[in-house]
Chain A
Amino acid sequence: MNRKRLQAVIEKEWLDMRKNKMVLSMMALLPLLLVGMILGTVYFMERAPDSEYDPATGDSGMALPPELEALGYKEGTIILLNDQYMFYLLLIPLTLPVYVAAYSIIGEKETRSLEPLLATPVSTAELLVGKTISAAAPAIVLTWLSFVLTAVGLNFIASPTVLAYWVRPVWSLSMALQTPFLAVLSTASGVIASSRLNDPRAAQQVTGLFIVPLIALSLIVLMGKVYLNLRLMSWATLLIAAVTVGVLWLAIRLFQRETILTRWK
């Protein structure tokens, strides 16, 4: 793989992305909303009277898993909700790259620029890797940035215990490992969808398939049925990695010169 050509593809994609206001606003909006929502919720919950969180006396009382009962109802509830929000942060690498990738590839179809591009010495692998990195990297960085920004905000508005649970190993490792896998999974889905669809918005809907299990898991956690630990998250990471590899394999199979030129309509 030629480093200069790979770099040229990534630079061009980012340059094009910077000039596409629709993609840019989509990229910025979701992380900003999520960070604002998390910090806003925690801010008001921290300032509500403790009695509101007691299932016996308050109307916001929730059943806490045994692992959080020792913390007290208020902190336990905030931490349980934050665990829920952490799943939402994982929606950033799952939803944003497919949007960028779909625009990037469907954009090439719309402008008919794929043929002259494929007639240069750039290899199919360099093109696919370049497009994957340029679509996935901003989402990975934005997810990590949202995680860190939220931690910084919690440091000011929440108790040290809430902050400690936010950055506990199960979530730090999840952010470090699952985010890149989800971003690549999302990009590969965008490549596959782009081979059959001509509308980036339709291509984006493909990731709905992956969002459903994530939301389902978050609801199970919210109900207090499962408490996330390192063992469970390691298995989840392995599962995500396996699905990512499978989807990536399919994307590489579809992203062949002849297929692109003769079958992508």
Chain B
Amino acid sequence: MIRTEHLTKRFGPLLAVEDLNLHVERGEVFGFLGPNGAGKTTTLRMLAALIAPTSGAAWINDRRVGQDDEAIHASIGLLTETPGLYPRLSAKENLSFFAKLHGVEDIPGQVRKYLTLLELWERRSEPVGGFSKGMQQKLAIARALLHEPPVLFLDEPTSALDPEAARLVRDFIETLKGEGRTIFLCTHNLEEADHLCDRVAVIKQRLIRVDAPDALRQDLYGRSVRVQLREVTPEILAAVRALPFVTAVTEASPGLRVALDEPETYNPVLIQALMTAGAAIQFVERESHSLEQVYLDLLHESEATA
């Protein structure tokens, strides 16, 4: 659905994006993560056929960027960080204008559908300059969807919103995911990316890593459980280290952090061994790493190898 090959963009001497190779499947929600100035918006603009790559190529729906831009624009919906609406026009007038540009056949029907879905129908005739940020962002989402595009580019869709409005927008993105649309999501909100995305890419000019969030976690940290004990004795430590499926043991006061490949299979054996060694087990929990931790570690690793 979305494909890039050696996509590169320079602005004079400034290298904004370098040698980016991506493949986003149909119906996938793809998170695009990176620090400020990493080239996220530039990449999004290239994929949305708004700016031309310096070298390399990109395809949206098998249409090459730079060669069939009108067809690409007809098949994408773009939500920018700021809503970008016409404040003097009403919600209905804003949407009708964009529907005309997209050649939507049933303009009143589509406008009504999305204003109703996003709970804005009652305020359809009011100038949008008087809307709250959350309402404006919802209207911008409606605008991006009016022509039913199979591909959606969302640039920081919730960054300027209060928690309630952000939740509403996130829920709506989940609904869109259920409809089988391909969603390319640029975000700094890593919790949001973790929750919504099937795969994430971390970039800083170049692609650092791309995978599913859980796969990245496992790749970086392996799988581990945290066992909280009343006390850790040398006998308990020795008993755990003797288990063949345990790959690493570290003390995590008050207890142990045990790395193992298949916790579902080996946790009962581990617990049995601990009890045999006289351990007083208080809690056993799967150790989890936030996507934020994964992201920061990937960036540090990339800086260290650069």
Kindly identify, within residues 96 to 112 of chain B, every residue whose CB is under 8 Å from any CB belonging to chain A. 97-98, 100-103
Given A5-B100, A12-B86, A119-B48, are A19 and B127 also a contact pair (CB < 8 Å)? yes
A25 interface residue per 8 A CB criterion: no
B143 interface residue per 8 A CB criterion: yes
A210: min CB distance to chain B, Å: 29
Closest-by-CB residue of A relative to B129 is A111
Kindly identify, within residues 212 to 267 of chain B, every residue whose CB is under 8 Å from any CB belonging to chain A. none
A120 interface residue per 8 A CB criterion: yes
Which residues on the A side are within 8 Å of B51 (C-beta)? 257-258, 261-262
Evaluate contact between B103 and A112: CB separation under 8 angstroms: no
Q: Mark A97-134, 1 if CB is under 8 A from B, else 0.
A: 00000000000000111111111111100000000000
Which residues on the B side are within 8 Å of A116 (C-beta)? 78-80, 84, 98, 140, 143-144
A115: min CB distance to chain B, Å: 5
Given A8-B100, A15-B93, A121-B70, are A111 and B84 also a contact pair (CB < 8 Å)? yes
Evaluate contact between B84 and A114: CB separation under 8 angstroms: yes
Given A115-B50, A116-B78, A121-B101, are A16 and B45 also a contact pair (CB < 8 Å)? no
Evaluate contact between B50 and A118: CB separation under 8 angstroms: yes
Closest-by-CB residue of B relative to A114 is B84
* Partner among A19, A115, A120, A262 whose Cβ is within 8 Å of the Cβ of B102: A120
Closest-by-CB residue of A relative to B98 is A120
Residues of B within 8 Å of A, CB-based: how many? Answer: 33
Evaluate contact between A19 and B89: CB separation under 8 angstroms: yes
Q: Mark B61-102, 1 if CB is under 8 A from A, else 0.
A: 000000000100110101110111111110001000110111
* Partner among A4, A7, A115, A121 whose Cβ is within 8 Å of the Cβ of B84: A115
Given A4-B100, A119-B50, A123-B70, are A112 and B84 also a contact pair (CB < 8 Å)? yes
B298 interface residue per 8 A CB criterion: no
Residues of A within 8 Å of B, CB-based: how many? Answer: 28
B52 interface residue per 8 A CB criterion: yes
Evaluate contact between B70 and A12: CB separation under 8 angstroms: no
- Interchain CA distance A122-B70 in the complex, whole Å: 8
Which residues on the B side are within 8 Å of A112 (C-beta)? 80, 82-84
Main secondary structure of the interface of A (DSSP, over half): helix
- Interchain CA distance A121-B99 in the complex, whole Å: 11
* Partner among A11, A121, A258 whose Cβ is within 8 Å of the Cβ of B74: A121
A159 interface residue per 8 A CB criterion: no
Which residues on the B side are within 8 Å of A15 (C-beta)? 89, 93
Closest-by-CB residue of A relative to B83 is A112
Evaluate contact between A261 and B45: CB separation under 8 angstroms: yes
B75: min CB distance to chain A, Å: 10
* Partner among A5, A11, A19, A119 whose Cβ is within 8 Å of the Cβ of B76: A119
B11 interface residue per 8 A CB criterion: yes
Evaluate contact between A8 and B97: CB separation under 8 angstroms: yes
- Interchain CA distance A117-B143 in the complex, whole Å: 10
Kindly identify, within residues 250 to 265 of chain A, every residue whose CB is under 8 Å from any CB belonging to chain B. 257-258, 261-262
Evaluate contact between B78 and A16: CB separation under 8 angstroms: no
A20 interface residue per 8 A CB criterion: yes
- Interchain CA distance A115-B153 in the complex, whole Å: 12
Residues in B lying within 8 Å of A, measured CB to CB:
11, 45, 48-52, 70, 73-74, 76, 78-80, 82-89, 93, 97-98, 100-103, 127, 140, 143-144
**Can you name 18 A-B residue pairings with CB atoms under 8 Å?**
A7-B100, A9-B101, A11-B97, A19-B127, A112-B84, A113-B85, A115-B45, A115-B50, A115-B84, A116-B84, A116-B98, A117-B101, A120-B98, A120-B101, A120-B102, A121-B103, A257-B50, A261-B50
Known: A8-B101, A9-B101, A12-B86. 12 other contacts (CB 8 A): A5-B103, A8-B97, A12-B97, A15-B89, A16-B89, A114-B84, A115-B80, A119-B48, A119-B78, A121-B102, A257-B51, A258-B51
